[in-house]
Amino acid sequence: MRGEKKINIKNIINILFENFGGKFSDSLGIKLKEKNPDEIFKWFLASVLYGARIGEKIATKTYYEFEKRDILSPSEVLDTGWDRLVEILDIGGYVRYDFKTATKLLNIMKIVQDNYNNNLDNLHESALNFQDLEKKLIEMPGIGPTTTNIFLRELRGIWKKADPNLSSFAEAAAYNLGLLNIVAKNSKQKRENLNLLKEIWNKSKKKGYSFSDFEACLVRLGKDFCRKKPTQCIIRTFCKKPC
């Protein structure tokens, strides 16, 4: 870790959790710890919504619209049809992206239904390793690296092969806090940063939480403060990089 000043990692972790909570899936009431395919699909649906070029609040509101109507399986999304999906997306706030997102959802769910028998665990089982798992997701129409990272990072410890590199937001936040020495410029450095942050967590972990919770805190910090409004960040005094 960089910087001459000794970093109180446990203190940083406690403050991160106090201000940013844990996993995004937990905040939605999705119980990934149960390893239930239905819960995993709920997070998959939410991840597709979060992965769009749309605000987090809109994506969250839209997920709840799906939940309110009990449209929480591939077959239920397909049965809903394009027109009604557009209506739900509009209510959630996807006004400019409603047509595109409705089409994307139908295309994705058709693949999950036809190729994986409506069960994403089958997708995981069919993958050779974590790289192949990411590749299979990215090959789905409308799912890119961002959505894939959102989905898989909260499945660490749930799916054996779910082990994506850190998102740019988490990496930036960890670097600013002095937990990482560099911002990765290639795949090798990305893997090294991930492994270093895992080591840091394993030495100073917070009871009752997982590395995915820690990562989610860093994502929120990086996305909402390091990128947008650093001067309003409550933990900026811990940062090694001046805001």
**Residues 107-166: tens digit of each pLDDT:** 999 999 999 999 999 999 999 999 999 999 999 999 999 999 999 999 999 999 999 999
Among 146-155, 166-175, 221-230, top mean pLDDT goes to: 146-155
Task: Tell me if 175 sits within 8 A of 227, measured CB to CB.
Answer: no
The whole-number pLDDT of residue 224 equals: 74
Q: 173 and 137 in one domain?
A: no
CA separation (Å) from 107 to 138, 145, 240, 242? 13, 17, 45, 45
Q: pTM of the predicted model, to two decimals?
A: 0.91
pLDDT at 228 over 60: no
- Looking at residue 234, its pLDDT comes to 54
pLDDT in tens, 87-108: 999 999 998 888 999 999 999 9
Domain count, the chain: 2
Residues 129 and 73 in one domain: yes
Q: Is residue 160 part of a domain?
A: no
Say how many C-beta atoms besides its own lie within 10 A of residue 34's C-beta. 11
Q: Looking at the predicted structure, is the pLDDT value of residue 230 above 60? A: no
- The mean pLDDT value for 1-24 works out to 79
On whether residue 173 sits in a domain, the answer given is yes
Q: Rounded distance, CA 21 to CA 71, Å? A: 27
118 and 196 inside one domain? no
Question: Does the pLDDT at position 21 exceed 90?
Answer: no
Q: Please determine, for residue 1, whether its predicted confidence score (pLDDT) is greater than 80.
A: no
Give me the domain span that covers residue 230: 9-23+165-238
Whether residue 199 contacts residue 146, with contact meaning beta carbons closer than 8 Å, is answered with: no
Give the pLDDT score at 235: 57
pLDDT on residue 236 = 55
